[in-house]
Chain A
Amino acid sequence: MTLLMINGPLIIGISFAYLGLLFAVAYWADRRAEQGRSVIAHPSVYALSLAVYCTAWTFYGSVGRAAESTVGFLPIYLGPTLMALLWGAFLVKLVRVCKTERITSIADFIASRYGKSQLLGGLVTIIAVVGVVPYIALQLKAIAWSFNILLHYPEVRMPVPGDLPLWADTAFIIALLLAAFTILFGTRHLDASERHEGLVAAVAFESIVKLVAFLAIGLFITLGLLGWGGPTLPPLTDSPRVQALLEPSVEPFADWFAISLLAALAIILLPRQFQVTVVENSDERHLLRALWLFPLYLLLMNLFVVPIAIAGLLAFPDGTVNADTFILTLPILFEHPWLALLVYIGGLSAATGMVIVETIALSTMVSNDLVLPLLLKRWQRRQHALDPGRLLLMIRRGAILGILILGYLYYRFAGEAYALVSIGLISFVAVAQFAPAVIGGLYWRGGTREGALAGLIVGFMMWVYTLLLPSFAKSGWLPSVFIDSGIAGLDILAPTALFGISGMSEITHGLFWSLTANILFFLLVSSLREPNVAEISQAGIFVDESRRIAIGSAPLWRGSAEIAELMRLAERFLGATRTRNAFTDLARSRGLDSPEQLPADGATVYFAETLLSGAIGGASARVMVASVTQEETLGIEEVLDILDEASQIRAYSHQLEQKSRDLEAATAELRAANLRLQELDRLKDDFMSSVTHELRTPLASIRAFSEILHDDPEIDLEQRRRFLGILVSETERLSRLVNQVLDLAKIESGHAHWRTEVVELQALIEQAVQATEQYVHERGGRVTLELHPTTARVWGDRDRIIQVLVNLIANAAKFAPQGAAELRIRLTDVADQWRVCVTDNGPGIPQQELERIFEKFHQTATGGAKPGGTGLGLPISRQIIDNLGGRIWAESPPGKGATLCFELPAHAANPSDPRPEHD
């Protein structure tokens, strides 16, 4: 059918060529990244890289599982699909937190979340290594088997394990090769949080290769099954195994829930999945593409599993060919060497992809969370001469080699005991132990370091007891009676049926017990005490990721540090250039010219710690930074205070706003007061000006007549007498004016002396009329009194009230027509007031003047008979009445003259009444 001769050198040559191609892809992607044209910036590349989930276990093992239980292989892909479709928000939150915190691995994540605990990081690393090494062994086994099967082409022969010396064992050689390859791929840079662009590109490429290979063999088989030109297979009815398989049965569904759950957790928690999904994520938006593209990939990958399984069962009816190898043995059987080679390369792809990414992830954990903390303890004691950056790379490379050798050893000694799928599932249960700490850590503030430790330890121990030890027993290392009777022969402790609960599959049973115990201890131990400072701080970062980003980084750190020390520390791990660049960027973002100007405050220390976290993990970074800084211990109160910083700042700014409003109000008050002062100043000026004017006027008359009389002795007697009369009246006017000005000033300043007594208004009115009788008579006037018969008693100062009455009477007389003045004085009671009104028969007062006549020196437009008034009589009257607690006003109904009235509170007959408030 073909001229191709498959032999050892060809397979080895093709394998190397393929690995070389992978390396070329990785190299090309790295170069592109350096040029700023990243290939992995494409969301589809990210989604394809997630398909590193599909390992050789998927590639070969799915068919094996389908051959046993048809759809039993499906939940391993259903779980991640459900996870992607139903819980995208969790993935987004996880990716976001890890990016801001420069999380390098699942161990780093858990350690960082619970107060950057080195112990926790170490424990997670150990669990991951122990749990995942069998899984790596599985890949080695797959490569070795496929190589050996292909080697015997065109004969279909199952390899016989363990019969070769070490140096000739394909698996051992493969392990070493993969170690070298991984070291080349994964440890070129130190900073593990920096994305491995080449690695991701190569993984995405591999995902395409394995999918193409699987679809190719799938199509080939399906065409044959359908009779469309593919291989001719015996009819289905000839095989009792196929018949049994196709019988309707619920048995394949027994493990569905447990395995779906396991797979859903594994898609995140497996170290390699954490690596590609979280650490290598270059853009959070890529997740959106992955959420549908990745499930689609899984669907395609599973499309032909059942037909291939059926074809295998039909083609190899005697059961001597392992179902796990069907996709490779079928093309060999039907002599399709190219297809067989393609399948081999697909399997190689799936296995190498998994091994490379997994070992890189594990080596980062081993170096950052296991070895480095131990080294740091030594370094703290004495000066370390070795370049830590180089040392770290050496550790990482050593870890890669060590893990692969462990994987090989596991394969060599335990790998034959179990079917491939079972080893994979045992690994899944191991990493599922991280779930409570991770998911709880992102959504629950109450988790503590001890809680996480307790949960992990108990869960891990349950895993060892219910799954790992039975697998050892099945490998013959432990007496097989252990599986059924447990320790000390107690049936109740049987590892596969704890406490008598049986009927579940081993995996479901192990998962149930380990995860239940894990969650229980995590919650219980966490609730034993309140989270401490470091845990609250980290909980804030992880749980309230969205809030924290809104506030900006809020490092809970206080102490003293030196920027030079921090930079020297970072240089030791990251090199001078990268450190310089990173700190320069930070300085620029704060508006500073050079890193040396950076304040060594909490934010800078936090930055240095995060920067270092990318290289050596969060827990180690904290220890290293602490070694060059003096941190002051923060009390729980202070931490809560700082966590509330945002609200404090809000409160502070609120206070500032309040202060500024107060200042504005004070300014406004000052401005108003200033205006009032200016107004008072103007009023004083006006008053002085008016007083001056009023003084100058009589003075002018006095001076003029004095000079006339003095200069002219021949003025006749009549004239002389008239002039002397003017002199006298102007002099009186002058002295009256001076007295009134002083009087007004006294009242206004509050220094006036007030006698307080009960007075009767009737008597006072009569006295006032008497006092003005002469003046009114001179003007030819008449006064009419209309007084209330009841004695009108008020509190007051007799003389002052008379002064008011005289002013009103004189004012009325002045404005009444000369020679026909009719004055009317009325006393009435209004409510509990006594009212006195003085009315004249003059021209009245215009409406707009009614209030102004009480202003000082106000001159009515109608004028008046000068020199009668001083312009101060009514203002003084108003001051007096106001002081006595009454009011005074003017009325002027048209054509009825003017009326000036005042009211004073009536005083009850009882003389012991308290005086009203008027002084």
Chain B
Amino acid sequence: MTKRILIIDDEPNIVISLEFLMMREGHEVHVARDGEAGLVAVRAHRPDLVVLDVMMPKLDGFGVLEAIRADPQVAATRILMLTAKGREAEFKKGLALGADAYMSKPFSTRELVDKVKELLDSQRES
């Protein structure tokens, strides 16, 4: 079943790879290049899942995460965070702020696809 996926990342090549992977799974993909644009896109497209980068201009991933969770209309959105900063503290911070999953860059495409599938399934069950 087709889901809406929103990718928020400022690295064009990462975006290309993620877009390719999600479309291959048959999802509808939207892209935002920074945090602020990402928030607008979340409210506009109501995605089922957001793949969210941490280090971005204007508004970083944690800011986007908090804003989504604070907005009742989109608060239920599944969020998978990707970060190039592989520190333990970042993981904990992301999970504490309400991320559903957290993966570090570079990531395994298979793991990423499985994780997205898992998150989308858990949404269906709930």
Contact = CB atoms under 8 A, between A and B. Distances in A.
* Chain A partners chain B: yes
Interface of A: 689, 692-694, 696-705, 707-708, 711-712, 719, 726, 729-730, 859-863, 866-867
A708 B57 contact: no
A694 B11 CA distance: 11
Contact of B109 (A694, A708, A860): A708
Nearest to A862: B57
Contacts of B106: 696, 699-704
Interface of B: 10-14, 16-18, 20-21, 24, 33-34, 55, 57-58, 84-87, 104-110
A700 B14 CA distance: 7
Nearest to A703: B106
A697 B11 contact: yes
A711 B11 contact: no
Given A696-B105, A712-B24, 16 more contacts: A692-B85, A694-B84, A696-B84, A696-B85, A697-B84, A700-B11, A700-B84, A700-B105, A700-B107, A701-B13, A701-B106, A704-B18, A707-B108, A719-B20, A859-B57, A867-B13
17 contacts: A692-B84, A693-B84, A696-B86, A696-B105, A697-B84, A700-B11, A700-B105, A700-B107, A707-B108, A708-B17, A726-B13, A726-B16, A859-B57, A861-B58, A866-B10, A866-B12, A866-B13
Contacts of A694: 84
Contact of B13 (A696, A712, A730): A730
Nearest to A715: B20
A598 to B, nearest CB: 68
Nearest to B21: A708
Contacts of B21: 704, 708
A701 B24 CA distance: 17
Contact of B57 (A689, A726, A863): A863
Nearest to A722: B16
A705 B33 CA distance: 20
Contacts, number: 78
A694 B107 CA distance: 15
B105 A699 contact: yes
Contacts of B109: 703-704, 707-708, 711
A867 to B, nearest CB: 6
A689 B107 CA distance: 18
Nearest to B104: A696
Contacts of A707: 108-110
Contacts of A730: 13
A703 B34 CA distance: 23
A859 B86 CA distance: 19
Nearest to A733: B13
Nearest to B84: A696
A715 B24 CA distance: 11
A689 B33 CA distance: 23
A731 B110 CA distance: 22
A693 B14 CA distance: 14
A693 B85 contact: yes
Nearest to B107: A700
A867 B16 contact: no
A729 B14 CA distance: 13
A702 B107 CA distance: 10
Given A692-B85, A866-B11, A867-B12, A697 B105 contact: yes
Contacts of B10: 863, 866
Contacts of A698: 13
A700 B57 CA distance: 19
Contact of A701 (B17, B58, B85, B104): B17
B62 to A, nearest CB: 15
Closest 3 CB pairs of A and B: A700-B105, A704-B17, A696-B84
Given A692-B85, A697-B84, A704 B12 contact: no
B11 A689 contact: no
B57 A701 contact: no
B46 to A, nearest CB: 26
B102 to A, nearest CB: 14
Contacts of B105: 696-697, 699-700
B55 A701 contact: no
B86 A863 contact: no
Contacts of B18: 704
A692 B12 contact: no
Nearest to A701: B13
Nearest to A693: B84
A701 B86 CA distance: 16
Contacts of A867: 11-13
Contacts of B13: 698, 701, 705, 726, 729-730, 866-867
A698 B34 CA distance: 18
Contacts of A689: 85, 87
Contacts of B57: 859-863
A712 B109 CA distance: 12
Contacts of A719: 20
A699 to B, nearest CB: 5
A719 B17 CA distance: 11
A692 B85 CA distance: 7
A693 B11 CA distance: 12
A702 B85 CA distance: 17
Contacts of B84: 692-694, 696-697, 700
A178 to B, nearest CB: 108
A705 B17 contact: yes
A694 B84 CA distance: 8
